[in-house]
Structure 1
Amino acid sequence: EICTRIKEIDEIMTVDSSSFMKAVWTMLGAISYLRNKRCEISIDLEFFAKSSTVVQYMCGARVRVGYFIIQQGILLRMLWRGNLLTHDVYYNPHRHASEVFLALGRKIGADTQDMSPATIKTSESDRRNLNSLLSSLGIQQYDILVVMNINASALCLERRWPVDRFAKLAVKILSSSDVKIVLIGDAHDALYVDGFMEIVQRDPRIFNLAGRLDIGMLTVLLEKTRLFITNDSGPLHIAVSVGTSTVSLFGPEIPERYGPVEREKHSVVYADIYCSPCLNVYNQKAALCRGMNECMHKITVEEVFDAVIKRYQK
């Protein structure tokens, strides 16, 4: 959904992976369509699985750019470079993700000096829908909002800071500031967020919007919020793109790779213990601790609250 909101993207094609046959059929359709388009340049952003490289080759672009990984070996790299890719780029797991992606464009001569995030389009309809929802909950236009994302995707739930600490943080914020707190999340997060609401005894100054916002409404909400507090997750990057101040919490991944590039409006809390980062492309991004995420438990309510107050007062 978010790709439809990025103004630089003109057309989107998807592959239906709900079943093997649907995946094959829609993939062949996409390949046929792109071959007929006679694309000049194809850039493969996938850095681990090589099926996308094969598809890229079959689409027939004259210039084909993609990654190679040292651990794949010299012979495999020669195969990709000599037959499937015309330009290969070393996938560097130690650089910021934005640099890693920009390296593909740089390889074929693109100007990559501008590191500003893509613009996410919103509409008047998005604003009306959000304002209507907030108004129905008793949130007024003049209210100061702090938005919290206590969730992380199923890709790695170990990125979540303990829910009881988020609850204690919310109570401290409400006791020190005249704000209203809004919680976000998708439909799959609704039960988890409701558990948070139970801990804070359904404080009337805290609002659960999990499962009630589409990307457009979420973007508008983040535009108007005073501060966004979040685990390492997708909404962090939306907040950065719209210029909202953030406090983000990192553990299994490191902020040097996935945090905000510019820190003028953004604070990061990170325990920096020995086993972090544990997620990488060589272990399928699986946390080694299997739920015992010491890297997030090491982060205290007090240090996050200090970061929130400092960022809120700027």
Structure 2
Amino acid sequence: MKVRLTQIIDYWLGVPMAAIFSLIHWLRRRTFKPELSKPKKILFIEISEMGSAIIAYSSLLRAKELIESNELYFLVFEKNRESVELLKVIPKEHIITIPDTSFLSFALGAFKALAKVRALQIDTVIDMELFSRFTALFSFASGASRRVGFHNYTAEGLYRGTFLTHRVFYNPHQHMSQNFLALVFALSAEKYEEPLLKRNVSEALLPLPSYEVDNGDKQAIEEMLEERGWSKKGDTKLVVFNPDPGEALPIRGWPLSSFVEVAKALVEHDPKVLVVVIGLKRSKTYAEALSKALPLGCCIDLTGKTKSLSQVVTLFTMSKLLIGNDSGPAHFAALTKIPILTLYGPETPALYGPLSDKAENLYSGYACSPCLSAANHRHSICRDSKCLKAISPEIVIETALRMLN
């Protein structure tokens, strides 16, 4: 489904349904006030963003500590399932998915997922989406007695009802890893404390795990590279480029011409550098532009070639640097020791920077940036990302060479 279509449906259908669910919740509270026991089964909801599962790592582990069991579940779009599996925190059979190829498949998949959640008798739902009405409505319909999510309190707009049992203030000045932690710790907050959460959660952040490479994935990546001229015995420096910002938010894309200029400079400066372009099949035009601009044998096109997300992460473990837009791969790379150079414009690294001590984020800090935020459901009228164009190829080249050395 198109992102804008989902936003329109979420508003025009979601707002009145949220009001109806709020009324039902109010009537229930008037007649029945259940005593809440300790959470036993927790469902996390973060359906749309691939990198959010990595950012939520600390939250998942803290929730596991809270319930003292492995009864954690995760609801996510089918296409993003692997991003949850990478962490190996949520059992594979506990990952519930919804297809999003069309509105019909989404609607049917949502009802199927809801039926499964109700059958599991989930007692706690933690909604990590930023003011999505659909996920809030899903949490209410799940039958869970505890429903945790972000709430607007006195702010105008972003209405998603008043039926959350633990309403957490969304802080746009703290990294999303801390915002997610606030959702988990809200479960153990004082009963009538508002707004949640009145504590510093930064001390509860945990380092990301080191990715354990699967031998089959490593062999597959080595074969792909060798078929395209790479030698395992050589001293080549693999530099991974991720130039495609994706279909959902194309304004997050740094100009392709700038990526080409950087690639040419790195190869000219160090003949051992071998550029590897990653992405989906639709990303092939980016790889073709880079291949055409570089000397023969200096660029490998793996767009549409990797069979899984685990193979992409395996490639990162073999490489010296990742250069790319603000998107999922930067967060997946944080599970490895690869240096990460990420370019930000419409969004800010203060909220979405990779959780790696080897990450560097370039950000121009324009007055209009970030224009993608929770306040506008990440829908911007911008069609010209001057904030990204302001990041010159020269500064990226300088930073990349320093990180390579």
Q: TM-score, normalised by structure 2?
A: 0.70
Quick one: which amino acid aligns to residue 400 of structure 2?
V
Shift in Å, 1:289: 2.6
CA contact (8 A) 2:238 2:319 kept: yes
Q: Residue 309 of structure 1 corresponds to which residue in structure 2? A: 401
CA contact (8 A) 2:372 2:379 kept: yes
Shift in Å, 1:122: 4.4
Instruction: Give the whole-Å Cα distance in 2 for the aligned partners of 1:251 and 1:209.
Output: 26
Is 1:299 paired with 2:391? yes
Instruction: Give the whole-Å Cα distance in 1 for the aligned partners of 2:286 and 2:146.
Output: 46
SS of the residue 1:268 aligns to:
strand
CA contact (8 A) 2:208 2:355 kept: no
CA contact (8 A) 1:158 1:287 kept: no
Shift in Å, 1:234: 0.8
Shift in Å, 1:261: 4.1
Shift in alpha-carbon separation, 1:164–1:65, aligned structure 2, 3 A? same
Instruction: Give the whole-Å Cα distance in 2 for the aligned partners of 1:144 and 1:201.
Output: 15
SS of the residue 2:376 aligns to:
coil
Moved more, 65-74 or 141-150: 65-74
CA contact (8 A) 1:228 1:244 kept: yes
Q: How does 1:163-242 map to 2 (within 5 A)?
A: 163-177=256-270, 178-198=272-292, 200-201=293-294, 203-213=296-306, 214-242=308-336
Shift in alpha-carbon separation, 1:304–1:139, aligned structure 2, 3 A? same
Q: Residue 277 of structure 1 corresponds to which residue in structure 2? A: 370
Q: Residue 68 of structure 1 corresponds to which residue in structure 2? A: 151
CA contact (8 A) 1:121 1:216 kept: no
Shift in alpha-carbon separation, 1:252–1:73, aligned structure 2, 3 A? closer
Unaligned runs of 5+ in 1: none
Q: Residue 99 of structure 1 corresponds to which residue in structure 2? A: 178
Moved more, 304-313 or 15-24: 15-24
SS of the residue 1:64 aligns to:
strand
Q: Residue 145 of structure 1 corresponds to which residue in structure 2? A: 238
Is 1:9 paired with 2:101? no
Instruction: Give the whole-Å Cα distance in 1 for the aligned partners of 2:145 and 2:394.
Output: 55
SS of the residue 1:165 aligns to:
helix
Instruction: Give the whole-Å Cα distance in 1 for the aligned partners of 2:83 and 2:364.
Output: 31
4+ residue runs over 4 A deviation: 70-77, 118-122
Shift in alpha-carbon separation, 1:124–1:296, aligned structure 2, 3 A? same
Instruction: Give the whole-Å Cα distance in 2 for the aligned partners of 1:216 and 1:31.
Output: 29
Q: TM-score, normalised by structure 1?
A: 0.89
Q: How does 1:33-44 map to 2 (within 5 A)?
A: 33-44=116-127
Instruction: Give the whole-Å Cα distance in 2 for the aligned partners of 1:18 and 1:301.
Output: 36
Q: How does 1:252-291 map to 2 (within 5 A)?
A: 252-262=346-356, 264-290=357-383
Moved more, 58-67 or 18-27: 18-27
**Which among 197, 204, 227 is matched to residue 113 of structure 1?**
204
Shift in Å, 1:53: 1.5
SS of the residue 1:241 aligns to:
coil
CA contact (8 A) 2:175 2:351 kept: yes
CA contact (8 A) 2:263 2:290 kept: no
Q: Residue 107 of structure 2 corresponds to which residue in structure 1? A: 24
Instruction: Give the whole-Å Cα distance in 1 for the aligned partners of 2:389 and 2:291.
Output: 20
Quick one: which amino acid aligns to residue 250 of structure 2?
L
Quick one: which amino acid aligns to residue 2 of structure 1?
S
Instruction: Give the whole-Å Cα distance in 2 for the aligned partners of 1:71 and 1:20.
Output: 33
Quick one: which amino acid aligns to residue 144 of structure 2?
A
